[in-house]
Structure 1
Amino acid sequence: MQVRDARILLTGASGGIGQVLVERLCAQGARLLLVGRDGIALQSMAQRFPGQISLVGADLTRAADRLRVVDAVRSQGGVDCVINAAGINQFSLLEQQSEDAIARLIELNVTATLQLTHLLLPLLRQQPQALLVNLGSTFGSIGFPGFAAYCASKFALRGFSEALRRELADSRVKVLYIAPRATRTAMNSAQVVAMNDELKVEMDDPREVADEILRAIVREREELYLGWPEKLFVRLNGLLPRLVDQALRKQLPVVKRFADADRHAAATPVCKSQPGEHR
């Protein structure tokens, strides 16, 4: 995809990866429509790149706000690329999570993403060429203890991307699925970072992740999994899940120790720039 002068809608733009991605896309000459709830952060980005950024303050879990996003897209003459990057994460054992917290996570990470995509597809179809980019996670392929609800949402997003890609195979709309691994952003609590350090899990710089996302968009790469050995674990989990079970079983005591320490902080989900900022 030619990024220069492309009209790109980006949800979850105010988070760690999202802000860097805005910088990279603007540097390449794209025109962005940013969607989010953090008006101050969005205004700051718009001031840095005058003439390239438009804003829509929206809570994507609300039907009326999703319709406002669609109206904004129509008012600017359409869109060439949609990047679904909004979502929340929560590190906690499932039995320690409230029903409301689980519902909120699934509502934003899955339901709102599908509903917004449903509304935007007719507008994408009007373009000579268009991309739909879903930012997932390594946890969309590997179930990891302490992230059961989050993993469920990312497994759903991966399946949605695969099915929709096949559904649109005879159209001019391409569907991309990009799965980062652990990333050093504010969405990860101190306990998550400490756990990853103890388990020797690498965490990527959000600038590196944004660069990989941009390259995938330019090359129109249908699927991309970031990080090694995470790429290998994704394949192993698909072919030999029992082998991964055994490896994660050894890590379970460490995960439980940090998940219990993070229980109270994790009770309130944290907004993030994109799904998959953790993995």
Structure 2
Amino acid sequence: MSREKLKSLKRIVIKIGTNSIMRPGQQVDFRKLDRIAFVCSSLQQEGYEVILVSSGAVGVGAAMLKVSDYPKEISEQQALASVGQGALMNLYSRFFRAYQQFVGQILITRDVVDFPSSKYNCQTAINTLLKKGIIPIINENDAISVDEMNHQTKFGDNDTLSAIVARLIEADLLVIMSDVDGLYDKNPKLHSDAELLDHISAITPEVLAMAGGSGSTFATGGMETKLRAAELILANQQAMIITSAADPTVLFDIVAGEKVGTLFSQV
């Protein structure tokens, strides 16, 4: 999909990362949540079908419980996720309602999309919300997701989850909003001459070599997970953009076909 063809898309999956909804010092960024709600509601009003995949349950839980260090024990992580997911959805509901937009929560584990009947039910739930003009807000069910022998329930990161959701509902575009402007040919934090790449048509070893690590204490993703998500999207002949979440209104520029971030598409 070319930039020009982005003007004709209808169904968009938007993934927002933990770093993008948290302020330094483990505080929830209310201004950012409001802007996300404003942009998603505006796109919905303009006729787009919007699905929001939001990280942040553990980070918000840590903020609520004033936890400064990421816990090592799975049970402690699950406790933070349980507290944080409820708080996060409460915040989203309040901000979206300011724009007269309803949202619906869907929590997914990997086994849901691995089995035909549960996969169908998941697709039906998302599509029904969209038909009713309700924006689905999707997250991994971190409070119960663990990987055990012969029973894998974790996606591992929400970049992967967002790509799987995009494939599941045949979205026209996945936009991963992060703390970087897109994919650079080298780490821009270390190299002042790093150049932002406009278009990638395949995830090669050379492209993967450009990836760095995860961004913060409570974030599980990094550029590598985003490139793995792009790999899934390209294999399904879909399109994906990585861009900065600093100003969520950049999504208006994306649907207008303007050059924003890095576009991953086969053509």
**TM-score interval, smaller chain:** 0.3 to 0.5
Question: TM-score under structure 1 normalisation?
Answer: 0.42
Give 1 or 2: higher helix fraction: 1
Q: Give the TM-score taking structure 2 as reference length.
A: 0.43
